[in-house]
Amino acid sequence: MAGNTGAPLLLRLVAASVSVAEKAGTIVRSVFDSGELGVVEKDGKNDLQTQADRSAQECIVQSLSRQFPKVTIIGEEEPTDETVDESHLVTGLSEEVLKAVCPQDLQSVKDEDVVVWVDPLDGTKEYTQGFLDHVTVLIGVAVKGKAVAGVINQPYYNYKAGPGATLGRTMWGIVGLGAFGVERLVPPADKRIVTTTRSHSNKLVTDSIEAMQPDEVLRVGGAGHKVLLVIEGKAHAYVFATPGCKKWDTCAPEAILHALGGKLTDIHGNALQYHKDVKHPNTGGVLATYSDHDWYLSRMPESVKEAVKP
């Protein structure tokens, strides 16, 4: 039930997003298990869409828009003319979220102040190639252009743990409250680990990574997955000095990272904007860290900053 209408809009929206993200994660797994991925190329071989992308987006966008009809929702995938599959719709709200105390500055948020950014399946190429731990479902909530809340479902978390292991997890966070379902861990102190793109590299990306003098580079898929590596201490920074990332890739991860005290900006140190009329590409690239953000900004080559402008 969608009850507790007395709760602040932001809490109800995050509570609904947690329930919806869990359902979307189930859809992602069921499509993969069916073997009928329905892959199409949107803009070349590195920009794919599957039936899981389409069905998960329908689940998220339709479920949220029915509960919050005045809120702007922007999804990665183009809407289809297909009849809505009612079995994909979710009306429940997470009781865990509803029990939380909404931060004071977000208690009176109005529908028109909110934009929800949806990536129904972040890491689609990796999904089609079987790198399943790279895959996430991302629902980010922005208020007046600022990422303030996020929900990340990792459908295949624990998928290598063997029979009996609980498959999948859902994390959520609100700036000023904290993050739940994920634990902040400190990365190794004796080496520097940087994570970056697996399939969208170029000379700008390579030059910026080299400038950070890393001892190890983790080249993986999915912006959500890369920010989780930073949060969970498997990487010190996520560096992506090229415009390939979009607002729906970064809104949810940024909010959760910020809720835990980390930082995500473009490569110039500018805050990303998430209002409804903003251009979707993050043209200034992405830099995410848990600490020493200014040091990573200072290492960014001038030649890269000249080429990658917001």
Q: Which residues are catalytic?
A: 53, 124
Q: How many CA atoms lie within 13 A of 60 on its CB side?
A: 38
Q: Residue 114: which H helix or E strand, with range?
A: strand 114-122
Measured CA distances, 170 to 51, 154, 183, 186 (Å): 21, 6, 12, 21
Distance CA 271, CA 166 (A): 36
Distance CA 139, CA 116 (A): 7
CB atoms under 10 Å from CB of 163, counted, come to: 4
Token pair of 268 as six digits = 């110039």
